[in-house]
Homo-oligomer: A and B are copies of this chain.
Amino acid sequence: MSVTEIVPNVSERHVSRAASVPFDAAKQADALTEAFTLIGAAVRFDRNTEIFGEAEPAEYFYQVVSGAVRMYKLLSDGRRQIGAFHLPGDVFGLEAGQTHRFGAEAIATSVIRVARRSAIIALAARDHDLANELWTRTADRLQLAQDHMLLLGRKNAEERVASFLLQMADRAAAERTLDLPMSRQDIADYLGLTIETVSRTLTQLEGKAAIELPSSRRVRLCNRAALQRLNA
């Protein structure tokens, strides 16, 4: 199940086999992606396998090549909060401390590029662009986390689901139809709701003709303006 095979660099086999929209590193010539291409190894993770655990020592940085990843935190009694979903191109595991404070799991079969922290940090000591980008990417994550706090603290179920759909549509660069890689439970734990409430809210949005649900994982955004109105 947890087949995690390491290859020295992205092999054709993995990339071609990987699901939907593989991330093309060459197109986005930022310093960090360059560093990943240079010293990173591609690793394949099957659906629902752990990439790293909460409180595990943080030895690597990660970049999604294809697939999708969820970052989560657990309470002692099993309640789970998903802090972020990572899609192709995203870098994660960027904590500055010695241990991960979130766990990471593959939502779908994913190819992840992995690079030793120490190697990246050593590079950054000589390359200001890279150092700057480590900071920038961390600050970007912080902004997303802050937007997420507003959603969790102050929005109702309908607003949360609408925000989520718009956010996913933006990131997937999907004009109208959206294929969600994650389950209702994942969405619920991201939005701080139960799966029942997420499901009900989606059918409710369908009732308002804001969306259509051709299948449970597929969403058509029919009325973006209506969703936008709920966004804030």
Interface residues of A (CB under 8 A from B): 73, 75-76, 79-81, 83, 94-97, 101-102, 125, 128, 131-132, 134-136, 138-143, 145-150, 152-155, 189, 191-192, 232
Q: Could you write out 11 A-B pairs with CB less than 8 Å apart? A: A73-B149, A81-B153, A83-B146, A96-B135, A96-B140, A97-B140, A101-B147, A142-B145, A149-B152, A153-B189, A154-B192
Q: Residue of B at shortest CB range from A102?
A: B146
Contacting A138 at CB < 8 Å: which of B135, B149, B232?
B135
Chain B residues within an 8 Å CB radius of A136: 96
Contacting A150 at CB < 8 Å: which of B81, B94, B131, B140?
B81
Residue in A128, A136, A147, A152 with the greatest tally of chain B CB atoms within 10 Å: A152
Q: Kindly list the 3 A-B residue pairs having the minimum CB-CB distance in the complex, ordered from nearest.
A: A153-B192, A96-B139, A152-B152
- B135 and A131 within 8 A (CB): yes
Residue in A83, A95, A97, A154 with the greatest tally of chain B CB atoms within 10 Å: A154
| Known A81-B150, A95-B143, A102-B146; 4 more pairs at CB < 8 Å | A76-B232, A97-B143, A142-B142, A153-B192
Chain B residues within an 8 Å CB radius of A96: 135-136, 138-140
Q: How far is the CB of A227 from chain B (nearest CB, A)?
A: 15
